[in-house]
Amino acid sequence: MKIVVCVKQVPDTAGGVKFKPDGTLDRSAMLAIMNPDDKAGLEVALRIKDKDPEHVTITALTMGLPKAYNVLREAMAMGADDGLLITDRVLGGADTWATSSTIAGALKNMQYDLVITGRQAIDGDTAQVGPQIAEHLNIPVISYASDVTVEGDYVTAKRQFEDRYHIIKAKMPCLITVLGEETTPRYMTPGGIFDAYNKDVTVWGRANLDVADENIGKKGSPTVIAKASDKVAKGKGTVVTPDSAEEASQYIIDRLAEKHVI
Ligand SMILES: Cc1cc2nc3c(=O)[nH]c(=O)nc-3n(C[C@H](O)[C@H](O)[C@H](O)COP(=O)(O)OP(=O)(O)OC[C@H]3O[C@@H](n4cnc5c(N)ncnc54)[C@H](O)[C@@H]3O)c2cc1C
């Protein structure tokens, strides 16, 4: 069984988001980490491999700048068998359509039974790429997945909704998008870190991809980010302790009137 896990290198927004004067993210000013949902996705793959290590192989795939190489090393130190870096200037500035077209263009030249992505990336935050890849490859997708099991040619997973979940079964080849909060990833081991430096990372460029020119990079991106800005932290709220319900409702009415809401 061949599993391909899509891992994205993202800026660590926990330390605050830095922007360039043109409003785009200043990625060089922020620590680069593996997208948290993708680490959970990798953990799902590793748990499938734990059950059948002889017959399951895991390839970690990333599209990005050459420095995205580092998330592949981390993935291999966690237990992935090898890595594939898709990097080429013409692929830069991609929106989700171009990103998913590019990744699908790589997968069309690879063998896979199960493709795993995170539910979403903490920078673009669109949650679009996973399902888009499945569309390009015309394979079933189970999104918001957790408790993933494999039996024969079928994957079964819990598909989360806000107030309930469904148990969904899909025939492979298929794609799942994994919820970070539902699956706790294992740590890299010292041995794993050591081994990772002996494992192969394949580097692919535009020529290795089965995708049309009009669907890659900035030119192939129907969506352009006009401006991105950090969330403005709201001021501290006011705490009031009215003596009665009447006083409380009067207080609210006065505030709403003040703001010309009523
Ligand atoms: C602030 C901001 C807002 C943006 N808004 C939009 C927008 O509204 N529309 C738009 O089209 N683009 C948008 N982008 C661009 C978008 O970030 C890129 O297109 C990006 O490559 C994919 O989208 P995403 O980050 O939302 O990924 P998501 O769709 O959230 O990612 C889902 C999963 O797909 C996989 N994946 C995504 N990118 C890669 C990769 N490069 N390598 C390997 N696996 C990957 C990962 O497993 C990830 O968990 C935005 C970018 C920023 C920084």
Domain layout of the chain by residue ranges: 2-215
Segment among 11-25, 43-57, 172-186, 230-244 with least mean pLDDT: 11-25
Confidence of residue 16 (pLDDT cuts 50, 70, 90): confident
The residue whose CB lies within 8 Å of the most ligand 1 atoms, and thus the one to mutate among 87, 99, 176, 224, is: 99
Q: How far apart are CA 108 and CA 106, in angstroms?
A: 5
Q: Could you name the CATH architecture of 2-215?
A: 3-Layer(aba) Sandwich (3.40)
8 Cβ closer than 6 Å to some ligand 1 atom: yes
Question: Which residues make beta-bridge pairs with 62?
Answer: 85
Angle at 70 between CA 41 and CA 202, to 5 degrees: 85
Predicted pLDDT at 235: 74
Tokens of 240: 């009031």
Taking the mean position of all CA atoms in its chain, how far away is CA 42? 11
Q: Is the pLDDT of residue 227 over 80?
A: no
Give residue 55's pLDDT band: very low, low, confident or very high (50, 70, 90). very high
Task: Dump the DSSP string for 133-192.
Answer: HHHHHT--EEEEEEEEEEETTEEEEEEE-SS-EEEEEEESSEEEEE-GGGSPPPPPPHHH
Is the CB of 64 inside a 6 Å radius of any atom of ligand 1? yes
